[in-house]
Chains A and B, each alone.
Chain A
């Protein structure tokens, strides 16, 4: 078992997503940066259904009650195990009773902590991902405990830890279903000048600071996906993320590539990005 001494900022348990329930309005959820979690799962030998801990900007302080192997990755984050720094992307042994203290994310936005075998979380609709109000809580809380299995063997490192998307700032996008609604001067704005992340952002969506021209198109409620760029009547662009709702009525002008969703998940308020149209 793992004890939460301090929960950090927006720390939550996430797997690779809750699939199969979008038809009844349940968001997919899952790790914001799936490229990072996917690679870390591979290195430690966990499956996509196993829960990892997602840390945002400021990590938690944790006490481990059983020996296990862990790996930390994604955005580089300060981490000390009983005062010794823990390197990113390396399998590390944690012994019973030891404390792991995270500090700030140094570059990027989201880091991941995995234990061998995954955190033992009661699944809700076949997934361990925390999403309130489907699960009791949306984030880790102080004094909460999280289960995991004791594991004390060497794990051979078969896959190298290398994540090139962390430094990227170009988001590859496809035309969305309502791409044609974009005015020509907005097209120029979209693809030839940078955008900055607004402060309105969470696991549901990320707003961009620079607006396009206003419009009055609305559509019959229709499916939206993580990575869908919604174009609101006031001209604002909102990129839906993993906890985003399953349907919407704003024009869906662009769709991020799967990779671009993970790239964007690592950006902070004020960071600059550029959009690149594919095909």
Chain B
């Protein structure tokens, strides 16, 4: 992508915002991650926090910065990127139970979309999603790649409490609530495995750029996975795949 399409602007005293065109695409996401990884190797950016999502990358420094100098460095690094370089990302398979006791909005969603509940579940569980970023809550994944047939604006009245593990959809995205929280998304099911854990050295193993698939499990299997997880026997399934 040419540099004219890259917008670099100061964001307050301590941050720089790099913005790409206003579209959701895997190629932009890959470019963001490649640039982020390249910047992380550079001394000037070592201490910067980097928040990437959809079409932007925000660099936050611990002190005031020389914007013009940093802008030049970012452009240099960007020009030097090899976009065709294949690189690896993880493909995660997460169990989701679409039982009505978890999927409290299944009926309403099916009705709004003029689909059957089974069709909603099928379409949601048979897609490969991409992690475009994390935010809203610690460990909340923004997953793109939702079937066009499931696009639906968020609920008019947000719920005061959405339970931990809820798998939900809104607009063109799906996501998993990592903690109990208020929320306005439509809840379709529940994932028995907490993905975000502050006691682990890597509290959130699923990273921007990774892919996620959902494996539909019935209530019995959901409970058994949960039990195995509690005893420490369950490990999330993932494999390395090449991102071309």
Give the interface of A toward B (CB within 8 A).
19-27, 124-125, 133-134, 174, 176-177, 219-223, 225, 227-228, 245-248, 252, 255-258
| Alpha-carbon separation in the docked complex, A124 to B199 (Å) | 8
CB neighbours of B132 from chain A (8 A): 221
Contact A221 to B142, CB < 8 A, known contacts A24-B196, A177-B17 = yes
Q: Are the CB atoms of A177 and B203 closer together than 8 Å?
A: no
Contact with A along B1-35 (1 / 0, CB 8 A): 00000000111111101010010100000000000
Determine whether the beta carbon of B138 is less than 8 Å from that of A25.
Answer: yes
Asked if B56 is at the interface (CB within 8 A of a chain A CB), the reply is: yes
When the two chains form their complex, are residues A257 and B13 in contact, meaning their CB atoms are under 8 A apart?
Answer: yes
How far is A21 from B14 in the complex, measured between Cα atoms in Å? Answer: 17
Binds A, one of B46-54, B96-104, B106-114: B46-54
- Bound-state CA distance A124–B136 (Å) is 19
Q: What are 16 residue pairs bridging A and B, where the CB atoms are less than 8 Å apart in the complex?
A: A20-B49, A22-B60, A24-B203, A25-B139, A124-B198, A174-B11, A219-B22, A220-B22, A221-B135, A222-B54, A223-B51, A223-B53, A225-B15, A247-B53, A252-B11, A256-B12
Residues on A with C-beta less than 8 A from B19 are: 177, 222
Q: Is the interface of A mostly helix, strand, loop or mixed?
A: loop
Contact assessment for B56 and A257 in the assembled complex, using a CB-CB cutoff below 8 Å: no
* Residues of the A chain whose Cβ atoms lie less than 8 Å from the Cβ of B137: 25, 245
Check if B91 is an interface residue, CB within 8 A of chain A.
Answer: no
Number of A-B contacts (CB under 8 A): 109
Q: What residues of A have a CB within 8 angstroms of the CB of B50 in the complex? A: 23
In the complex, chain A residues whose CB is within 8 Å of the CB of B14:
258
CA distance in complex: A66, B106 (Å)? 57
For B51, the chain A residues whose CB sits under 8 A away are 22-23, 223, 246-247
- Cα A22 to Cα B50 in complex, Å, equals 8
Q: Which of B54, B139, B196 contacts A221 (CB 8 A)?
A: B54
B180 at the interface (CB under 8 A from A): yes
Query: In this assembly, does B55 line the interface, its C-beta being within 8 Å of a C-beta of chain A?
Result: yes
With A124-B198, A220-B24 already in contact, the answer to whether A24 and B12 are too (CB < 8 A) is: no
Chain B residues bordering chain A, tally (CB within 8 A)? 40
Cα-based distance from A248 to B51 in the complex (angstroms)? 12
Which residues 104-147 of B sit at the A interface, judged by CB distance below 8 A? 132-140, 142
Question: When the two chains form their complex, are residues A23 and B22 in contact, meaning their CB atoms are under 8 A apart?
Answer: no
**B11–A176 CB distance below 8 A:** yes
For A258, give its contact among B13, B49, B135, B196 (CB under 8 Å).
Answer: B13
Q: Are B134 and A225 in contact (CB under 8 A)?
A: no
Q: Does B95 contact A (CB under 8 A)?
A: no
B17 contacts A25, C-beta separation under 8 Å: no
- Does B70 lie at the interface of the complex (its beta carbon under 8 Å from any beta carbon of A)? no
- Give the top 7 A-B pairs by smallest Cβ distance, nearest first: A247-B135, A223-B58, A255-B12, A223-B51, A220-B54, A24-B204, A25-B134
Residues of B within 8 A of A125 (CB): 198, 203
Residues from 50 to 97 in B contacting A, C-beta threshold 8 Å: 50-56, 58, 60, 62
Contact of A177 among B11, B13, B62, B136 (CB under 8 A): B11
Q: Which residues of chain B are near A174, meaning CB under 8 Å?
A: 10-13
Q: How far is the CB of B173 from chain A (nearest CB, A)?
A: 9
Contact of A24 among B11, B55, B139, B180 (CB under 8 A): B139
A24, B58: Cβ atoms under 8 Å?
no
Complex formed: what's the CA distance from A248 to B198 in Å? Answer: 23
Given A222-B19, A223-B51, 10 other A-B residues pairs in contact with their CB atoms under 8 A: A20-B49, A23-B52, A23-B208, A24-B196, A25-B204, A174-B13, A177-B9, A177-B17, A223-B15, A247-B134
Which residues of chain B in 167-224 are interfacial with respect to chain A, using CB atoms and an 8 Å cutoff?
178-180, 196, 198, 203-204, 208
CA distance A23 to B53 in the complex (A): 9
Q: Contacts of A177 on B, CB cut-off 8 Å?
A: 9, 11, 17, 19
Cβ-neighbour of A257 out of B12, B52, B134 (below 8 A): B12
A220 to B56, Cβ gap below 8 A?
yes
C-alpha spacing A220/B58, complex, angstroms: 14
Give the residue name and chain of the A residue nearest to B164 (CB).
A133
Cβ of A222 and Cβ of B58 under 8 Å apart? yes
B60 CB contacts on chain A under 8 angstroms: 22, 223, 225
List residues of chain A with CB within 8 A of the CB of B180.
133
The 8 Å CB contact of B133, one of A19, A221, A228, is A221
Contact residues in B for A222 (Cβ distance below 8 Å): 17, 19, 53-56, 58
A247 and B204 alpha carbons, distance in the complex (Å)? 17
Instruction: Tell whether, in the assembled complex, residue B136 and residue A227 are in contact, meaning their CB atoms are under 8 Å apart.
Output: no
Return chain A residues, CB-CB under 8 Å to B54. 220-222
Q: Is the CB of A24 within 8 A of B56?
A: no
